Structure formats: C-alpha cells, structure tokens
Structure 1
Amino acid sequence: MEFCKRLSKSLDLLGYSQEMINFRREKNKQMDDIQNKVYPIPVITSGGKAEGTALYFESDIDRLYFVGGIKCVESGSPCSSPTVFHLDKYNCSPGYARLKLGHENHSFVQNHLKLENGYVKNHLYDVFNNQMVDINGFRITNQGKIGPAERYGNDYINYDFVIGLVCICPDLIEKWVKRERKHGWPDPYLIKQISSLEGHAVAVSNKDSSYPQTEWRICYTKAEIMLVHSFTESQTKLYLLLKLMAKSVLIPLCPAMTSYIMKNIIFWEIETNPALGFSQSSLIDRLIDAILFLKQALESGYLESYMIAERNLFQGRITENERQTLLKKLDELLNERENMFKHCNKIHESMSKLHESPDKYSNDAEKRDCIEKLVLKKNVIFKMSEKIVRPDEPAIQDRLKQNEEYMQCVDELYKLVIPDKKELLKSGLNLEEVYTRRLSKILS
C-alpha cells in the first residue's frame, strides 16, 4: 500500500495530477471550440492531448478534421446531406467498409478524393500544405503518412492530421450499446450520450484487406474521449502506468504496442471488473491484471476493439517473432511486480527523486506545471487571434505583440525557462534555440 501511494504521488509530480489532466482537457477543448467557430472544416483534438494524459511535447498532437456536408450511411438509409456515400461492408474486415458514391455535390470530393469503380479511394490528395507554421511559430514539414494520418513535425513536435468523413452506422453502435455489462461502467447516462454520437470513416484499410485501395476504417473518436474522461483518478493512473510501461518496454520490441492498444485494454478491464477494485492502494494489482490481459490477448492473437468488438486490433500488425518476444518480456514484468518500474526511466527516476529530495522535487514539479499552463494559455490566445477578419489587418505575430495577456505569458515563460538569459547572451548562444530546446525537454 505504501509503495502504491508513492507510485501515485510520483505520477502527480511527473505532470499527471488530476489538476493538470483537467487543465489540458479544458484548454485543448477551448482551442477546438474557437477553431470550429471560424473555420469551415471542424476539428477534434484526440489522443493524449484530448485525454489530458500527455505533457505538451511528450507525444504527437492528434487532430481529426471532418468535412461538413459529407455523410457515410448504410445503403437505403435516408440522408439529406449534399454528398452521400453508402457503406458497403461486403467482404470487408470487421469495423471497415468501402464507400460507394450515392450522390455528390461538394468541392472537397472533387478536389481531394478519387473514385475507383464508384468507390472512394483511401488516399486523400493535396489536403495539407507541405510546409506549415504551427501554433508556437515553429515550422513543421510533411513527414509522410502513418496509417490514416499525415504527419507534420520538426525536431521538437509532431502533428498527426487525419481527415474523417462523418459515418452513421447504427448497427455497430447498437451492438456496443446492447452489450451485457455486469459492473455498471459505462453508466446508463454515458451509454445514452455515446449512442447519439456519429463515427468517422478514416482513409486506411485493414492490413489483410481484399480492397487495400478502397477500404476505410470506421472509428469512434468522440466516444473514446468521453470514455477516458469518465475514468476515476485511480483508473486514469492505471492507464498512465500501462502507457508509460508500454512506451519504455514494449514499443521498442514491437511498434504495434501503441497507446491505443493500451487504452482498449483499460476499457475492457474497467468494464469487466467491479469499480471498488480500482483504488490508489490497488494500482500494482490492477496493473498486473492489465498486463495479464495483454498477455492472454497475445497468446490468442486476438484483441477485441472496445467499440467494435468484432475487430481484431492485432490483425496483421504483429509478427510471430514479435509475439514471442513480447510474451517473454511480459512474463519478466509479471515476475518482477513492483520492480518492473526499473525498466521505465521516467517512473523510476521520479520515485527516486521523491525518496531522496521530496521538497526540491515538488518545487521543480510545480514549476513545470506552471510552464505548461502558460504554454496552453498562450496557445488559446493565439487561436483566438488567428482568424484574419479583414485583408488589411496586420500579421498575427504583430497583432499578438499588442496583446497584453499574450505578451505576459511569453515574458513569464522566458523567465522560467531561461532565468540565465544574461549569461546566455554573453556566451553568444541563440536565445530562441536554447529556449525551444529547454521547453521541449521540460514538457516531454
């Protein structure tokens, strides 16, 4: 119990306190809301940023853009959208479909999509520029395609941009809603909320698809965000521990051991176990259970997607050699129990600092949280100022310099990140480079 208490405190001091998780969620939602009021293509920030479970530079920034006026529906379903694609699931992998053109009246289709025998190809053309400047003023360039995402980034940060077509698929969501649940999670109100949400079709086929050029994956990003937001503090920390262990130990052995895989494991663990079993004092026991769940899934070669249980998240993604290597490593972790964290530098170092110099570590953690809050506040102001209303308006950087609140955030950040500014100037170092490099390290 004492070990679990220190483990929980270590996560808080790493930047994963419930306060910081809630703050990240709030600011990222705020930025989405601002963008969606003024830009024609709505966006959902997803992944660790929407969940609040990732520090600013710790992981990719995932953005799902969905095009208004386009809907994918079951064949025969009435739909008044200007552009309609009919879902054809025949001979497709579970959770995937081909999109057959019903009727079309949208420039996005004409400019960015191509058809093959009446079906939409799962390749989007010329949606994003090859070079862009992100919200921090950093230049980001195209890093290639990863799954359905176009990746943009630089040495400090990566963005995964995904285009999703709104997908209304009642049979899939009804199966999820009607699934037998014995422990009250999700609760009836959350189930009802999720039942009314749309899904999205994203441009990637299953690994073993019969239609590699025209099959699209159906996903429920909005639902998954709501599910993670419903976690208790202990359940969120369990999810964080599994993610951090996977990143340190499992992903180097098999790139398929992503945060998304770990999230689905936690969904199943919470749904199939009593809520009382999740507490700060049981963190290790529940982590062991989650690792056992992963082990059993690897042994069977099958991990059910939480939202679409017929979909196997392991299909075509793990080689036999990777599977055997992972099973061996999981056995080692299970045998080590509390000692497994020696394999995860982030957790191991945090627990050591907490033991050796708790006051200094607490002060350093408070400073880091303050820095991240300032970055997110600054980004919200940027987003509010981004839209140019008139052609004769000054460039955004000039407008921001006139924004007192924005410049206050910038000044405070510089004081916290480069308190040795005078010494750096004397040594001839580039202040901007030092600032960016330090900020990335602090918030990773």
Structure 2
Amino acid sequence: MSSKEDENFSLWINSTLDTFGFRPEIISFRSYWYDKLAENMNLKLEELSPFRFSLVGSAGEGVRLGKSDTDILSVFKNTVCSDNPRINVHLNILKTDYSGTAPGYTKIVLINKSSSDIRHPFHFDTMYKSTEGHPYIPCALEYFAGKSEINGPAFSSAFPYESYLFSGTDLVFSFYFTGKEHLSEWAKRSRFYAWPQHTVLNEISKMEGYIVPVGDKQSDLKCLEWRICYTTAEKKLVQHLNDAQKKLYILLKMVCKTILQPICKAITSYIVKNVVFWVAERMPELQCSVNCLMNLLQKALYFIKYCLENNHLPNYMIPGRNLLRGGVSGREKRQAIDLLSQLMKEGGAIVVRIPKLYQCMFHMVHSPERGSRYGIWRDEVEKQTMKFLVLCQKEYSRRWVPMPILSFLQVLKNMNYMKALKYFMLVVPEFPNMIVQGKFVELQYLFLARVEATMLL
C-alpha cells in the first residue's frame, strides 16, 4: 500500500471501530459504569466479605471485545504487604523477601496476624522459613482450593447466573502491596517523548500495587513466589492513551485473539497491553493519530516479532520481568515469527483474517448511512443497559452476586415502569404490539438478541 492508501484504510478502520462500539466517549462511559457496578457490589458486601472488588482488564478499561471473560480483582481488605512493614494490630502484615526470586516476584512471610475475627486465608510452609524464622506463605491459597478452575493467578468462577454482558468471570485474589521502589524507578526512567505526561507519572508513582498468587514458571521455588503487579496503574495508563492508541490496543487484541493465539497461546491480552504501552512511549505524538493506525499496527507487530526472536518482552511497569520467560516453546515461537512476518507484508489485507471486523467494514462501505444510524442506536442502547444494570444492582438483596441476572421479569420488578418502558421501546420498538398479543417469551428473546447485536466486535 502507498502512504495515501494506508491513511485511507486507517481512517476506514477507525470509522468502523467508532461505529461498532469504540468511540472514545463510549469507551470512557463503559469504564465509568463498570466502576459503578464494582462500587455498588463493594457497598453491598461491606460487612459480609473480607474482599474489595474492582473490575480490571479489558472490561474495566472499556475495551472488552464481544463476550470475553470479565476480570475481577479481589483484594483482602485486612491484609497489607510491604518491603518495610509496620505492625498494625488490626491488619495482617506481610513482608516481602526477594532473595532468589526473578524480577517482579517475591516470597512473603506473615509478620503480624490481625486481632480481628476475620478469617485469614493463609496456610504456612514449615519446610521453608525466612532468615527471621517466619514461615513462608505459599502462593496456592488453601482458602479457595478446589472451588474453581485455576488459570495463572485467576480462578475461573462459576457464578449462578448467565448474562449477555458477562460470558465468564475470572477472579484474581490478591493483597495490597505498598512497596514504592518499582514505581519510583518506572517514573524516573528516561523517555524520548511525552507519554505518559509528567502529571500522570506523578499520580501513578503514588498508587498501590498488588501481589497475586502465581510464581515464576522457571523457578525451583515457584510454589513460594508471588507476582507483583500494578493493575490499577495500568488501568490509569489505558485511560491516558489517545484515541489512536486505544484503537491500536483494540485492533491488536483482535489480531492476537483471532490470528496469533491459535498457534501461540503465550501472546495474551496482557502482552498486547504491554506492547501498546511500549509503542505509545516510544513514538512521537504526531505519529499516533487515527490516520496512522495501520502504521501503528505494523510497529506493534514488528515489536512482538522482535521480542519473540530475542525471547524477551519486558513488562512495562517492571521492565526486569520478562513476559515471555518460560512461556513460548521452540515450535510455537518459529510459527509465530513466520506468521508475523507474513502479516507485516499483507498490510491492510490483514483484516480479511478477522471475520468480525471484515464484516463490519463491509457494512460500512455498502451501507454507510445505515451503519451510522446503527452506531447511534447501539451506543444509546449500551448506555441505557449499563445504567439499568446499576439500577437493578441497587435493588438487590445483600447476596454474594456481583452482577444482576438480566431477564424480562426482573426489568419490570427492579425498574420504574416508565423507565423500563422507555428502555424497552429503544431496544424493541415492537414492544407495545407484542405485549397486546401476549408474546412475552418472543419479546424476551427478541430483546436479548437486539442487545447482543450491540456487541458485533
């Protein structure tokens, strides 16, 4: 493609992403209301649960694709881990021990147990003790053993509900981490361009971190190691990506999920996020515009290929941690590198390999006016749906259910009738006639099908 063709194709992709759910305004709106859902959940469970919940990952960032799993970070409220802990009788106090661990990982020991009656999640490994004589806490949480399928630090939950908005939920249990060394080094390191801005650097350098129960894959003592992460800091960084950088994030997620992951499972959504951060930091702002979207994608694919060739992809927040360490087999690596080389040669033709995106772009070309009307409708439906979910959640009894089950009967039960009618009329204009004809079951199926049509990407 010529530079002009690249620009036109970039604008075409940008317009398609805007229309089908990824305008900057709707991304921000989505992230805000997901935070509202988590806030309501925490209020309901304030006295019942030892955890504080937050929606993280692509859902919490507002860039979730289709029915991808929703990631929930569950933090023990009465437990704090620190490099230099101070005793507090009301808290479980943990201390880090970095001896023999890879960058981004630590062993932890219990220095002080809370005097409260809240059940603590710890069991101890008496075979291994710190130099002070404290037993280490293994990264396998006995508190949750056998209750869920484990995927890295996440527990794939089986909540008793199914919703068009949440097809699956991954719970990551964690402890607060107050160590500032990693964030201080991150904020002070040299950068060629002005991303992230200085004010953002200062804000993030003061944020908390977390330790999650998963050890380094290649460590002999991985059962004792915990991973250090800065999940809320990364969420803040995503918020400060510009429109083109967020579109790159979404587009690269599509490429990896549809094309790369089938042959190389190590290229996860988390790796995609880190690649986008590195690209954003190392490119001038003028080159990070929506008319350069294809060029940005090429840069990102080249970066992934380079990292695979060198068996090293640095974590953005803790560069010493290699995200590819122990994650890619020789065969997968070679296949992924060959495929990336091929994708870089294809240019814009890469969208043909992403059926959902290709179909949406096809509709935008052949029916632009219809596509524009759809975009306005889908954004309004999503806004009303998110507000409806929060309203329903407020009406729920104090049960351990993070999100309401969506059904026709619950709409009428939990929502003001006029608001419910306005909402249903937006989604299903045929609503009055179907009610008169007694087609309640058909109405519910049509309603759900229409709302699912807001998630074509």
User: TM-score, normalized by length of structure 1?
Assistant: 0.87
Q: List aligned pairs for 1:407-422, cutoff 5 A.
A: 408-409=419-420, 412-413=423-424, 416=427, 419=430, 422=434
106 and 217 in structure 1: CA distance in 2 versus 1, 3 angstrom threshold: farther
Match of 1:113 among 104, 111, 122: 122
Q: Aligned with 1:33: secondary structure?
A: helix
Secondary structure of the structure 2 residue equivalent to 1:213 = helix
2:268 to 253, 258, 262: 258
Alpha carbons 1:374, 1:409 under 8 Å: kept: no
Matched residues in 2 for 1:98 and 1:106: separation?
24
- Which residue identity does 1:115 align to in structure 2? F
Task: Quote the Cα distance in structure 1 between the aligned partners of 2:330 and 2:118.
Answer: 40
Q: Alignment partner for residue 2 of structure 1, among 8, 24, 39?
A: 8
Q: How many residues align?
A: 423
- Give the structure-2-normalised TM-score: 0.84
Write the deviation string for residues 321-378 of structure 1: whole angstroms up to 9, x where unpaired: 1111111111111101111111111221121111111112222233322332222111
Which of 81, 100, 110 is equivalent to 1:72? 81
- CA distance in 2 between counterparts of 1:404 and 1:428 reads 18
Find the aligned partners of 1:403 and 1:427 in 2 and give their Cα distance: 21
- Which amino acid is 1:68 matched to? K
Q: How is 1:178-327 mapped onto 2 (pairs within 5 angstroms)? A: 178-327=188-337
Q: Provide the rounded CA distance (Å) in 2 between the counterparts of 1:242 and 1:29.
A: 24
CA distance in 2, matches of 1:406, 1:277: 50
Q: Could you tell me how far 1:287 is from its partner in structure 2?
A: 1.0
Aligned equivalent of 1:32: 38
CA–CA separation in structure 1 for the residues paired with 2:81 and 2:346: 49
Equivalent residue, structure 1, for 2:154: 149
8 A Cα contact 2:412 2:420, kept in partner: no
The residue number in structure 2 matching 1:173 is: 183
Aligned match of 1:85:
94
Amino acid at match of 1:170: K
Superposition map of 1:131-142 within 5 A: 142=148
Post-superposition Cα deviations, 1:294-323, rounded to whole Å, max 9, x if no partner, equal 110010010000000000001111111111
In structure 2, relative to structure 1, the CA distance for the partners of 1:306 and 1:180 (3 Å cut) is same
Compute the displacement of 1:126 (Å).
Answer: 4.7
* Deviations 1:240-294, CA, capped at 9 Å, x for gaps: 1111111111111122211111110010111112112111111111111111111
Give the 5 Å matches for 1:116-131.
116-117=125-126, 118-127=135-144
2: CA distance, partners of 1:360 / 1:89: 58
Residue 443 (str. 1) matches residue 455 (str. 2): yes
Contact 1:205–1:214 (8 Å) recurs in 2? yes
Could you tell me how far apart the structure 2 residues matched to 1:325 and 1:305 are?
A: 23
Give the drift of 1:51.
Answer: 1.1
Residue 133 of structure 1: aligned partner: none
CA distance 1:355–1:437, change in 2 (3 Å) = closer
In the alignment, what sits opposite 2:4? Answer: none
Q: 1:121–1:214: 8 Å Cα contact kept in structure 2?
A: yes
Partner of 2:171: 161
Q: Which whole-Å CA distance do the structure 1 matches of 2:93 and 2:188 have between them?
A: 28
* Aligned CA distance change for structure 1 residues 82 and 111 (closer, same or farther; 3 Å): closer
Displacement, 1:228?
0.4
Q: Which residue of 2 aligns with 1:393?
A: none
How far apart, in 1, do the equivalents of 2:218 and 2:243 lie? Answer: 38
Aligned equivalent of 2:70:
61
CA 1:418/1:97 → structure 2, altered by over 3 Å: closer, same or farther?
Answer: farther
Matched, 1:19 2:19: no
Match of 2:340 among 322, 330, 339: 330
